């Protein structure tokens, strides 16, 4: 029984988090300060929400390359729309902004689904191309210039300044848990519930496990596919809107090139690249682990020019440990 | 007479102008085991798919549970209690036993929310019906083929199946597992559930069935209760001609053994095994699963090196420490699970044929020309009597029998001196089987020493000259196949079971 | 009716004369000029293109913008080919990867196309390269702003947008050199003097800035050369409650940083108007067309370029704008 727990991927991620936590804490005690931990949680918000969508697509057996552009498209268009609305004197509540961004995301996701199930394009290729299409459409028809803090919808700026359990720090400013952390936790929780307790969610696992069997037991692959990509798009829309609010500026290029960092976190969290397996808890831990490493290298004194190198090494290390553990797990089950 | 679950009346089916089913009449009654026997391509899969609503039929009438269906859908067929267990079982290896069993009934009942406690209940009830205990939380990937099959059967039961169609259910099972499956089938029968059992294995057909229907070229040629069925005529009905089962008298082309093993052992797997095979001889090694026969074969090929004893090849003492050395010594091995061990399923026929001899095909620049690949492949395609296919066709597109031939070809391309075949005709239909046997005999006649690992008594008697029976990791019987009858050999193998 | 025709003809003649006059000014020529920035879209290059618009108004030239939407050296080369095929008179390019586009620009010049570059001092196949100012001098200027703001003591954190950016690195190096020479009581906090990379990315720079402020709590001065990253760092300073402790000098666009300049998080913005650079590039193109050779001391008639320094093909401006809360509202770009 203990062996089974030890061999769980979540246990491994958690131990690695503790391991790196201790090493970093020794290297620089500031790492363990409450402020740093609160910052770390806030920095995990964007990758954690995006990761939910990435995980769903991975479980279904594909790799999504479009989620960041869907996120940017949705969030940028939404903030642009409401900045114009605001300039005309109407203030829109944050919930409306989120819902509109999520709606746009889901819409774009359904285009991915169309490419994948109707035209039978492999997910990787389909999403890689759609990412470019979304980007092009956005630059051509929505815009490509920055949206500055003073133009941004007020509710987004308010959101970015909202803290929970805040207390004054030494410097006199308020320190606390950023409200977006709760949104991330909610997104993770809802994704967990949907994937674990709905037949739709289970059909994604079935699809990722064996597509033809899934069809034979009576799942509609078209429906499942639509669900996968609409969910992924919706989540990306949410992540994008929250990320843009948090940095108070909409820069269309801001998410560029982060596909693999998020995907790596999801995979390190135990989601199987070939589909069929993955848990939200694992993904949350994977995001925490990768961000813990990447966001603290300066703090622990790794010279900036080595940051990427060291981050890459640590990711490889984490993945190797995982592979070894996977082998041990298989051996254990075979022994049973 | 019991209830008619399925009734087909003069059913016809065409595929792009080719008639695959011709005026098929067939009925299935509650609580009976019907065997549907036929070669590959005889139309049995089509027939199953019509009953299960996957294919529409063109002429005739179909009744499920007494109701006429002009265009049945899979859902309708399932609602009438018809369940098909395909060869791959359609189970999900990434999910748990409980979820696999309960999934279909959740779909059938249009559930939107998953209740895990209910899943467990469904699963344990279904398993109880067939009297099997299993860890409901185990992931299917960690289970054996036989256990996966039980999961598939339980899933069918959980959907209130009245008729379960099993497509070649014994292909990947050991004798012990087959016995267990038969017990389960008898149990289901007692509960009034009908079974259509599709099989190639003639012994099993007579062992489990109440009625046998033989389909050939899309027609039911005979449909009789098992008591009235002429046993010796079954093969004739299937392929329309007789295949003789007679012992194989070999003519070794040399007196000195090609391979001789002396007292070889490997801890926990086999001990003190000695035998020799001369060029032109075919030695069969048989015994229960776990008797050590497969482990022995793997040792000869260097996968599990021996720990004591000696191996001589052409009189010279050799050490076989790994596969590469075995290959260099002229030993080839045809694995048991051809799908997982022997073939690159996604790669083409040509690539598969060339994979083992790739270093011989490349030119001095290390480049392999397509023309060389093609000529190499075409040579073996013809040699193995395969329907002429393009060498670019992926291996996964071939039927079981042809896949086995591809693996054969792959190894024959190395021109081995010693060929070890583990279950060479598992999952292969009767006609292909006899063709593969002919190829093996031909190889021996050319001076190869052949070792077959098999539990098919007919195969052993008709293809090999000597037989060794193993039990509990050592040899308990050794003899010439011409000196032993079907029953006697069976008794030898069963004697081990008694222990 | 007749009068109308006369007026029209007179107008046309007058127009012709005025353009005739223009031909006498080597910096004003009627031509077709293409603007080929690193990427289209984005505040910086959009603003730069406005300088082309101004030039078009002055000279009657036709100007247009073309370019890839993301950084892509191959697409950049293809754009050059297209422009040559269209037969434009001049290409004003901001190269994404100078060493990769140079050969293609050579072909363009062989076809008679004028090539003017910005941030392309390494290019061989150009008529002129325009630089807003000398990088070392710019760094010195920024260092002095920091030194004065910090009262000559404390320690600084130096960021760069990317460790591979020539301009950012030379400014940063020049800052460190100047500080060490002129302000012995100011330390460089960055470990081993290696600059922290912010990635030209708002979110990333915000996170890096927060981390750096925790890693170097003793810092009292910050410099950021990446206009994209400047506001996020200001925000990190604000959130850390260090608005009054830290002197923050950075490169930025007035519109993007206005809030932070007013709140005091960003003390000084050093900037130059990309539109001025655009206009100056057009003028160099005109000089090349008219055959006029630009010399040190020439006045291009654009702010920052009233007294240019010419070294080989590189034409350098000599001034940049230094904006504080008092001046920021006078600038809108």
C27 within domain boundaries: yes
Nearest to A218 among B107, B139, B141 (CB): B107
Domain that holds residue C174: 135-271
Give the chains touching C; criterion: ≥3 Cβ pairs < 8 Å: A
- The pLDDT of residue B351: 73
Q: Which residue of A has its CA nearest to C204?
A: A254
Q: Enumerate the residues of chain A whose CB falls inside 8 A of the CB of residue C192.
A: 303
Residue B184 has pLDDT above 50, yes or no: yes
Q: Which residue of A has its CA nearest to B93?
A: A209
Which DSSP category does A132 fall into?
A: H
pLDDT, tens digit (0-9, with 9 covering 90-100), for B28-44: 999 999 999 887 667 88
- The pLDDT of residue C53: 93
For the entire predicted model, the pTM comes to 0.75
Query: Are C10 and C115 in a shared domain?
Result: yes
C149 within domain boundaries: yes
CB contacts < 8 A (A, B): 67
- The domain boundary, picked from C239, C255, C271, lies at C271
Query: Are C218 and C201 in a shared domain?
Result: yes
C66 within domain boundaries: yes
Query: Are C150 and C49 in a shared domain?
Result: no
Name the helix (H) or strand (E) containing C103.
helix C98-110
Query: Are C109 and C140 in a shared domain?
Result: no
C326 within domain boundaries: no
pLDDT, tens digit (0-9, with 9 covering 90-100), for A8-40: 778 888 888 999 899 999 988 888 888 889 989
Please judge whether A213 and B94 are an interchain contact, meaning their C-beta atoms are less than 8 angstroms apart. no
Question: Which string of b and e fits C281-303 if b means at least 16 CB within 10 Å?
Answer: bbbbbbbbbeeeebeeebebebb
- The pLDDT of residue A46: 95
Query: Are C219 and C265 in a shared domain?
Result: yes
Within an 8 Å CB–CB cutoff, is residue B182 touching chain A? Answer: no
The percent of residues in chain C predicted with pLDDT above 70, rounded, is 92
The CA distance from A137 to the nearest CA of chain C, in Å, is: 11
C282 within domain boundaries: yes
Q: Enumerate the residues of chain C whose CB falls inside 8 A of the CB of residue A307.
A: 197
- Backbone angle region of B457, left / alpha / beta, with phi > 0 → left and psi within -120 to 50 → alpha: alpha
Domains of chain B with CATH codes: 4-239 (3.40.50.300), 243-330+416-499 (3.40.50.300), 348-408 (no CATH)
pLDDT, tens digit (0-9, with 9 covering 90-100), for A150-181: 889 999 999 998 988 888 876 667 788 999 99
- The pLDDT of residue B399: 61
Please judge whether A218 and B108 are an interchain contact, meaning their C-beta atoms are less than 8 angstroms apart. yes
- The pLDDT of residue B421: 87
B423 alpha-carbon distance from chain centroid: 9
The CA distance from A215 to the nearest CA of chain C, in Å, is: 41
Nearest to A43 among C46, C194, C207 (CB): C207
- The pLDDT of residue B346: 66
* pLDDT confidence bin for A215, thresholds 50/70/90: confident
Give the chains touching A; criterion: ≥3 Cβ pairs < 8 Å: B, C
- Best residue of A80, A247, A248, A262 to probe chain C, by most C CBs closer than 10 Å: A247
- The domain boundary, picked from C271, C294, C327, lies at C271
Query: Are C139 and C126 in a shared domain?
Result: no
Residue A62 has pLDDT above 90, yes or no: yes
ipTM attached to this prediction:
0.86
- Is C touching B (3+ C-beta pairs, cut-off 8 A)? no
Q: Enumerate the residues of chain A whose CB falls inside 8 A of the CB of residue C38.
A: none
- The pLDDT of residue C84: 92
C331 within domain boundaries: no
* pLDDT confidence bin for C75, thresholds 50/70/90: confident
Q: Could you tell me the strand order of the sheet in which B82-85 lies?
A: B82-85, B163-167, B194-198, B33-37, B211-216, B219-225
Please judge whether A213 and B107 are an interchain contact, meaning their C-beta atoms are less than 8 angstroms apart. no
Query: Are C98 and C30 in a shared domain?
Result: yes
| Residues of C (182-211) whose Cβ lies below 8 Å from A | 190-192, 194-197, 200-203, 206-208, 210-211
Q: What is the mean pLDDT of chain C?
A: 87
- Report helix, strand or coil for B191: coil
Q: Enumerate the residues of chain A whose CB falls inside 8 A of the CB of residue C49.
A: none
HSE, side-chain direction, 13 A CA sphere, residue A306: 12
CATH number at C204 reads 3.40.50.2300
Query: Are C262 and C285 in a shared domain?
Result: no
Please judge whether A196 and B107 are an interchain contact, meaning their C-beta atoms are less than 8 angstroms apart. no
The CA distance from A326 to the nearest CA of chain B, in Å, is: 12
**Residue A166 φ/ψ, nearest 5 degrees:** -85, 150
Please judge whether B107 and A197 are an interchain contact, meaning their C-beta atoms are less than 8 angstroms apart. no
HSE, side-chain direction, 13 A CA sphere, residue B286: 28
State the angle between helix axes of B145-158 and B97-108 in degrees (0 to 180), rounded to the nearest 10: 30
In sequence order, what DSSP letters do the residues of B4-73 get, joined into one string?
A: EEEEEEEEEEEETTEEEEEEEEEEEETT-EEEEE--TTSSHHHHHHHHTTSS--SEEEEEETTEE-SS--
- The pLDDT of residue C18: 45
Within an 8 Å CB–CB cutoff, is residue A214 touching chain B? Answer: yes
Pairing relationship of beta strands B33-37 and B194-198 according to DSSP bridges: parallel
Locus of tokens 């059938």: B108
Number of domains in chain C: 2
* Domain spans, chain A: 48-165+173-259
């Amino acid at each position: 029984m203990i062996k089974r727990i030890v061999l769980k991927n979540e246990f491994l991620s958690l131990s690695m988090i503790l391991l790196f936590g201790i090493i970093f804490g020794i290297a620089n005690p500031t790492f363990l300060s409450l402020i740093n931990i609160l910052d770390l949680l806030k920095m995990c918000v964007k990758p954690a929400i995006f990761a939910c969508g990435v995980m769903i697509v991975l479980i279904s057996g594909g790799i999504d390359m479009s989620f960041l552009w869907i996120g940017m498209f949705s969030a940028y268009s939404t903030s642009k729309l409401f900045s114009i609305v605001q300039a005309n004197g109407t203030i829109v509540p944050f919930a409306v902004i989120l819902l509109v961004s999520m709606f746009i995301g889901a819409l774009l996701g359904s285009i991915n689904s169309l490419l994948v199930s109707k035209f039978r394009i492999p997910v990787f290729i389909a999403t890689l191309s759609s990412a470019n299409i979304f980007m092009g459409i956005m630059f051509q028809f929505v815009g490509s210039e920055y949206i500055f803090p003073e133009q941004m919808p007020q509710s987004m700026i308010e959101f970015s300044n909202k803290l929970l359990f805040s207390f004054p720090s030494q410097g006199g400013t308020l320190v606390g848990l950023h409200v977006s952390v709760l949104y991330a936790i909610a997104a993770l929780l809802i994704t967990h519930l949907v994937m674990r307790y709905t037949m739709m969610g289970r059909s994604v696992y079935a699809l990722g496990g064996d597509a033809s069997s899934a069809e034979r037991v009576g799942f509609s692959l078209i429906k499942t596919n639509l669900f996968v990509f609409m969910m992924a798009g919706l989540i990306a829309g949410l992540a994008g809107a929250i990320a843009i609010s948090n940095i108070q500026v909409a820069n269309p290029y801001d998410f560029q090139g982060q596909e693999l960092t998020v995907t790596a976190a999801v995979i390190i969290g135990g989601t199987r690249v070939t589909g069929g397996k993955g848990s939200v808890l694992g993904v949350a831990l994977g995001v925490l682990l990768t961000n813990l490493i990447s966001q603290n290298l300066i703090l622990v004194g790794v010279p900036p020019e080595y940051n990427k190198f060291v981050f890459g090494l640590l990711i490889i290390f984490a993945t190797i440990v995982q592979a070894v553990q996977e082998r041990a797990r298989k051996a254990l089950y075979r022994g049973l | 007479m019991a209830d008619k679950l399925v009734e087909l009346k003069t059913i016809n089916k065409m595929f792009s102008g080719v008639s695959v089913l011709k005026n098929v009449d067939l009925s299935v009654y509650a609580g009976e085991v019907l065997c549907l026997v036929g070669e590959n391509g005889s139309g049995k899969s089509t027939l199953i798919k019509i009953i299960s609503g996957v294919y529409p039929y063109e002429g005739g009438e179909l009744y499920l549970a007494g109701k006429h269906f002009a265009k049945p859908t899979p859902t309708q067929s399932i609602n009438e209690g018809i369940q098909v267990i395909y060869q791959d079982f359609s189970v999900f290896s990434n999910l748990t036993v409980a979820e696999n069993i309960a999934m279909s009934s959740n779909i059938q009942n249009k559930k939107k929310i998953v209740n895990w406690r209910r899943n467990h209940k469904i699963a344990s009830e279904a398993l109880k019906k067939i009297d099997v205990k299993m860890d409901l939380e185990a992931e299917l990937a960690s289970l054996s083929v036989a256990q996966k099959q039980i999961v598939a059967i339980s899933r069918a039961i959980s959907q209130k199946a009245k008729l379960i169609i099993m497509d070649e259910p014994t292909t990947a099972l050991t004798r012990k597992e087959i016995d267990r499956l038969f017990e389960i089938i008898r149990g289901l029968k007692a509960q009034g559930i009908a079974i259509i059992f599709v099989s190639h294995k003639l012994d099993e057909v007579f062992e489990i069935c109440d009625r046998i229907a033989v389909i050939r070229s899309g027609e039911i040629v005979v449909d009789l209760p098992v008591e009235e069925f002429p046993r010796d005529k079954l093969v004739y009905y299937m392929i329309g001609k007789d295949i003789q089962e007679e012992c194989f008298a070999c003519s070794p082309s040399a007196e000195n053994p090609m391979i001789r093993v002396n007292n070889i052992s490997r801890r926990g797997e086999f001990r003190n095994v000695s035998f020799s095979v001369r060029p032109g001889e075919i030695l069969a090694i048989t015994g229960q699963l776990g008797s050590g026969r497969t482990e022995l074969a793997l040792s000869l090929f260097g996968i599990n090196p021996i720990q004591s004893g000696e191996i001589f090849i052409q009189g010279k003492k050799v050490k076989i420490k790994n596969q590469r050395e075995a290959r260099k010594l002229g030993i080839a091995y045809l694995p048991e699970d051809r799908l997982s061990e022997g073939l690159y399923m996604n790669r083409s026929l040509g690539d598969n044929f060339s994979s083992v001899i790739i270093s011989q095909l490349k030119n001095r620049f290390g480049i392999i020309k397509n023309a060389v690949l093609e000529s190499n492949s075409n040579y073996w395609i013809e040699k193995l009597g395969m329907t002429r296919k393009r060498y670019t066709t992926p291996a996964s597109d071939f039927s079981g029998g042809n896949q086995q031939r591809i693996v054969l070809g792959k190894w024959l391309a190395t021109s081995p001196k010693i060929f070890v075949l583990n279950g060479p005709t598992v999952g292969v239909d009767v006609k292909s089987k006899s063709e593969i046997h002919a190829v093996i005999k031909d190889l021996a006649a050319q001076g190869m020493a052949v070792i077959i690992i098999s539990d098919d008594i007919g195969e052993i008697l008709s293809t090999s000259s000597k037989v060794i029976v193993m039990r509990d990791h050592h040899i308990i019987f050794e003899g010439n196949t011409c000196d032993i009858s079907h029953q006697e050999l069976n008794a030898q193998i069963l004697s081990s079971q008694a222990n | 009716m007749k009068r109308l025709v006369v007026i029209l003809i007179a107008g046309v003649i007058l127009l012709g004369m005025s353009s005739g006059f223009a031909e006498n000014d080597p910096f004003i020529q009627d031509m077709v000029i293409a603007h080929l920035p690193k990427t289209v879209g984005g505040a910086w290059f959009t603003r730069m293109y406005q300088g082309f618009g101004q030039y078009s108004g002055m000279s009657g030239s036709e100007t247009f913008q073309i370019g890839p939407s993301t950084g892509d050296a191959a697409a950049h080369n293809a754009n050059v080919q297209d422009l040559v095929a269209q037969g434009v008179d001049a290409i004003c390019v901001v190269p994404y990867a100078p060493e990769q586009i140079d050969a293609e620009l050579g072909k363009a010049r062989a076809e008679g196309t004028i090539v003017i570059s910005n941030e392309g001092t390494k290019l061989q196949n150009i008529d002129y390269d325009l630089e807003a100012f000398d990088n070392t001098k710019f760094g010195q200027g920024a260092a002095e702003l920091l030194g004065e703001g910090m009262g000559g003591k404390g320690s600084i954190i130096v960021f760069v947008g990317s460790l591979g950016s020539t301009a950012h690195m030379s400014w940063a190096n020049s800052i460190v050199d100047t500080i060490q020479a002129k302000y012995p009581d100011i330390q460089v906090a960055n470990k081993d003097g290696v600059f922290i990379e912010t990635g030209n990315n708002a979110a990333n720079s915000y996170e890096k800035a927060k981390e750096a402020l925790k890693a170097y709590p003793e810092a009292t001065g910050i410099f950021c050369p990446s206009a994209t990253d400047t506001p996020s760092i200001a925000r990190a300073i604000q959130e850390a409650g260090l608005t009054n402790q830290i002197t923050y000098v950075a490169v930025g666009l007035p519109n993007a940083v206005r809030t932070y300049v007013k709140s005091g998080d960003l003390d000084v913005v050093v900037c130059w108007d990309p539109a001025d650079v655009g206009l100056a590039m057009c003028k160099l193109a005109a000089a090349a067309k008219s055959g006029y050779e630009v010399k040190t001391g020439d006045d291009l008639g654009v702010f920052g370029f009233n007294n240019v320094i010419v070294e080989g093909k590189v034409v350098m401006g000599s001034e940049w704008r230094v904006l504080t809360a008092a001046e920021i509202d006078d600038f809108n770009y």
